[in-house]
Amino acid sequence: MTRGRRAALGAIFGALIVLALHPASRHLYLPAARAWGPSPALSTSKWTNAGLLPRRVRSLSDASAWLSDACERLVTKRQRSPEEIQTFIEIATRAAASDPTNAFWLQVHAVILNASGDRDSALALWRLAARKAMWNDYQSRRFETAAEEAEKAHGNQSWIRAALYPRRSTAAVRLIEAYSRQVLQNASLTDPQGLKIRYDTLANGELIRDGSRHIGIAELGEAIIEAASHPPSMVSTPTPKGLLLSRLEFINSLREHGLQVEAENANQALLENEAWQAMTNREDPKSTFSNFARIAVASSVLPISFLVSSIFGLCLWCLGTFLHRIESARQVCRPPWSVILGVSFATLAYSVTGLWIAALTTALAFGLLAIGPPKKRSRPDGELGPLYRFMLLVITLAMITFIAGFVVGASTPGFYVLESIDVPKEYRDGSTLYLGLVGVCLVFSLLLAPAWALVHRIETSQVLAKTFRELGISLAVIGLVLSVIAGPAAVFADLSVREPLSQILTNESLYYLK
Amino acid sequence: MKIPCGFYAWLEGQSHRRVFGRLASVVSDRHTISCSDCSSDREELSLALDMLRGSSMDFEPSPQFDERLLRRVQVDRVRHSLNYWSPAFVGAAVAALVILTAIQIVSGPAEMPSIKFGNGRAPEARNTLSSEASYLPTLAPRMLDQ
């Protein structure tokens, strides 16, 4: 090994040691190598709307978790017993008593009562909720707690927030919105009682919109406010002119019935609603989240995925060296061993990918190993030319890409985040597609051997051994270099998306207002 | 043919060398048969060498000789290995420094270890918001009124 190569090797390992030990980057290497599939810290957390509830309701966060689950059950129309309904009502009542300024508990209480058939009590609670000062469903606080718990297991990484963001439940507000439409159906625009119910509905929507920490929930709040001014006969997709006229009619009707203060408040709320709608319609929260989530996953997994490529390359190099040194081992490249191996690997390729063409290609590649030059050189040249090197480089880069894809999909961040950003199932959750593609790359390397053996008049098995060694060294070196480069880049990328993702998780509306 | 005594003396000097060793010994053996002076000189030399060999065999190596020898061989081996890999160590040190600097710059002061003096806390401001309010900001204007 030349002096320069020794220095380069030392530099790579020196850099890797620093990256594996530094507090800002160490979670990207050794701990990341153990983080595959679902994480107990996230899957068994009682704070993430995953169906696991705290055994006892000791805090408002506990009550929020229980009521979120209750609303999810109501939305999906799952069977619920009267005892369960009674439990939910009791939780809502106690939470409302200990958090008297929060309208959320009363609204959910009203929804549950309405679902159980007690419509009068539900309406009374609905109107009482409209007089509360704030709205908080405590989901943001629960997610913050869940994030802190997950950080103890996985380090302070941005993908944790990206994994929690899609867990936010909108079931409660969807039920509240559906209930508000039901209330408005029976509220007239011409009599004082109906107008008061409409005004209370508008106030409830305003509370939800202002207290929401999620654009989807804010939009439901906006819809409640808007619907409060619509006459029951209005079609579902009104024209702007129709909307404006219905608003004016609602406000004039309030004034005509002596509800001056309510009219002013309603006018103000509807004007603010336009501003909110302008903001929520302009932003594309899904796209923004997807961009941040992609960066978060890539920054947490790519360094270890390149390291995995490097380790795979070292294994390939060992295999090539073994074939090169042991003459008897090279017998596997000649019939009948090549045929047996071809059939075995073809079966494996079919079982992994399910593609018959992959199996056929594998079998043919092993079969072609039987082809060799009729006359061999007594002193073969060690170099096989620039085209051979170029082919190896292309195969190396393809293999690194596919191995990285597999590692990203099978890792814990990929497991939780990729589904929420609409990555197809074929590319995530440890899909064997990428493994199949790695196998195809290896088959290509098998095809190189007979071709170059014929041209250079060298024994095919010797070219195959050389190909494996060269490919292994390329994979190992390029993988190590990429892992070292990806380390600081990942730390930077992770830090740059950590704050936006944290803001989007805890208060999305505020993030877009900044 | 009798060779001169001077040449015999030179041959005796060469007899221990590999190139002329066998030829020199044959020629000098023939000379000592015919030359009594050289023969007696040779006997004396042989006796002297025997004596020297005998005296040198009397020396016992020191008890730690083997250990010292092995240690010296190991030291030489390690030194050679260190010399061979010294570029790698230099490369590792330089790369470690560069990566450390890069990560420190990238990660910012939040990741830097800090030395705490006293109780390590600054006095809290009196007019800060409550922990709940600062914990999760809300857009609700009513919250600000409270």
CA gap B50, A411 in Å, rounded = 81
Q: Mark yes or no for CB contact B92/A10 under 8 Å.
A: yes
Q: How confident is the model at residue B131 (pLDDT cuts 50, 70, 90)?
A: very low
Q: Mark yes or no for CB contact A211/B139 under 8 Å.
A: yes
Are the CB atoms for A369 and A450 separated by under 8 Å?
A: yes
Q: Is A411 helix (H, G, I), strand (E, B) or coil?
A: strand
Say what the pLDDT of residue B142 is. Answer: 42
Amino acid of residue A247: R
CA gap A104, A141 in Å, rounded = 15
For A96, the token pair is: 């409302």
Say what the pLDDT of residue B125 is. Answer: 42
Please give the model's pTM, rounded to 2 decimal places.
0.74
Give A328-347 as a DSSP string: GGGGGGSTTHHHHHHHHHHH
CA gap A220, A175 in Å, rounded = 10
For A311, the token pair is: 């380790």
- A356 burial (CB, 10 Å; 0-12 / 13-18 / 19+) is exposed
Query: Which distant-in-sequence residues (6+ apart) come within 8 Å of A242 by Cβ?
Result: A234
| Shortest distance, CA A356 to any CA of chain B (angstroms) | 47
Residue of A118, A96, A115 lying closest to A106 (CA atoms): A96
Give A191-211 as a DSSP string: SHHHHHHHHHHHHHHHHHHHH
Q: Mark yes or no for CB contact A9/B111 under 8 Å.
A: no
Q: Mark yes or no for CB contact A19/B103 under 8 Å.
A: yes
Query: Which distant-in-sequence residues (6+ apart) come within 8 Å of A308 by Cβ?
Result: A33, A403, A407, A479
Nearest to A509 among B107, B139, B142 (CB): B139
CA gap A176, A182 in Å, rounded = 10
* pLDDT tens digits for range B75-115: 999 999 889 989 999 999 999 999 999 888 887 655 555 56
Are the CB atoms for A293 and A159 separated by under 8 Å?
A: yes
Are the CB atoms for A188 and A194 separated by under 8 Å?
A: yes
Q: Report CA A162 to chain centroid distance, whole Å.
A: 6
Q: Is B87 helix (H, G, I), strand (E, B) or coil?
A: helix
Burial A235-247 (b: 16+ CB within 10 A, else e): eeeeeeeeeeebb
Q: Report CA A211 to chain centroid distance, whole Å.
A: 26
Residue of A54, A35, A305, A55 lying closest to A151 (CA atoms): A35
| Shortest distance, CA B117 to any CA of chain A (angstroms) | 22
Q: Mark yes or no for CB contact B92/A210 under 8 Å.
A: no
Report the 10 Å Cβ neighbour count for A346: 22
Going residue by residue through chain A, which has 514 residues, state the pLDDT in tens, using 9 for 90 and above. 888 989 999 999 999 999 999 888 888 887 777 777 777 777 766 666 666 777 777 888 888 888 888 888 888 776 677 788 888 888 889 889 888 889 999 999 999 888 888 888 999 999 999 888 899 988 888 888 888 888 888 888 889 999 888 888 888 999 999 999 988 888 888 888 888 899 999 999 999 998 888 888 998 999 999 888 888 776 566 777 877 888 888 888 888 888 888 888 888 888 888 888 888 777 788 888 899 999 999 999 999 999 999 999 999 999 999 888 888 877 777 777 888 888 888 888 888 777 788 788 888 888 888 787 888 777 777 778 889 899 999 999 999 999 999 999 888 888 888 888 888 887 887 777 888 888 888 888 888 888 888 888 888 888 888 899 999 999 999 999 999 999 999 999 999 999 899 988 888 888 887 6
CA gap A107, B95 in Å, rounded = 60
For B133, the token pair is: 């309010």
| Shortest distance, CA B84 to any CA of chain A (angstroms) | 8
Are the CB atoms for A203 and A103 separated by under 8 Å?
A: no
Q: Mark yes or no for CB contact A8/B91 under 8 Å.
A: yes
End-to-end CA distance of chain A: 56
CA gap A485, A33 in Å, rounded = 18
For A181, the token pair is: 């439409």
Give A448-469 as a DSSP string: HHHHHHHHHT--HHHHHHHHHH
ipTM confidence: 0.72
Are the CB atoms for A16 and A310 separated by under 8 Å?
A: no
- Fill in the DSSP letter of residue B63: T
CA-derived radius of gyration, chain B: 44
Beta bridge partners of A411: A36
Say what the pLDDT of residue A442 is. Answer: 87
| Shortest distance, CA A110 to any CA of chain B (angstroms) | 22
Q: Mark yes or no for CB contact B103/A18 under 8 Å.
A: yes
Are the CB atoms for A448 and A441 separated by under 8 Å?
A: no
CA gap A486, B141 in Å, rounded = 45
Give the CA distances from residue A2 to residues A6, A106, A321, B80, in Å, rounded to whole numbers and listed in that order. Answer: 6, 76, 20, 15
Return the residue of B nearest to A481 by Cα.
B95
Return the residue of B nearest to A135 by Cα.
B140
Contacts of A275 in chain B (CB under 8 A): none
Residue B140 pLDDT more than 60?
Answer: no
CA gap A428, A297 in Å, rounded = 12
Helix axes A192-211, A119-129, angle to 10 degrees: 60
CA-derived radius of gyration, chain A: 32
Give A208-227 as a DSSP string: HHHH-SSHHHHHHHHHHHHH
- Fill in the DSSP letter of residue B18: T
Amino acid of residue A490: A
Helix axes A260-282, A240-256, angle to 10 degrees: 160
What are the residues of chain B with a beta carbon less than 8 Å away from any beta carbon of chain A? Answer: 84-85, 87-96, 98-100, 102-103, 106-108, 111, 135-143, 145-146
CA gap A281, A267 in Å, rounded = 21
Contacts of A101 in chain B (CB under 8 A): 146
Say what the pLDDT of residue B129 is. Answer: 35
Say what the pLDDT of residue B126 is. Answer: 41
Are the CB atoms for A48 and A167 separated by under 8 Å?
A: yes
Q: How confident is the model at residue B145 (pLDDT cuts 50, 70, 90)?
A: very low
| Shortest distance, CA A502 to any CA of chain B (angstroms) | 11
User: Which of A168, A483, A491 has the most B C-beta neighbours within 10 Å, making it the best mutation to test the interface with B?
Assistant: A491
- H helices of A354-431, where? 356-368, 386-410, 412-417
A301 sits in which H/E element: helix A285-325
* pLDDT tens digits for range A377-431: 777 777 788 898 999 999 999 999 999 999 998 888 888 888 888 888 878 877 7
Return the residue of B nearest to A143 by Cα.
B136
| Shortest distance, CA B130 to any CA of chain A (angstroms) | 15
Are the CB atoms for B32 and B42 separated by under 8 Å?
A: yes
Nearest to B91 among A11, A141, A207 (CB): A11
Biggest alpha carbon distance in chain A? 110
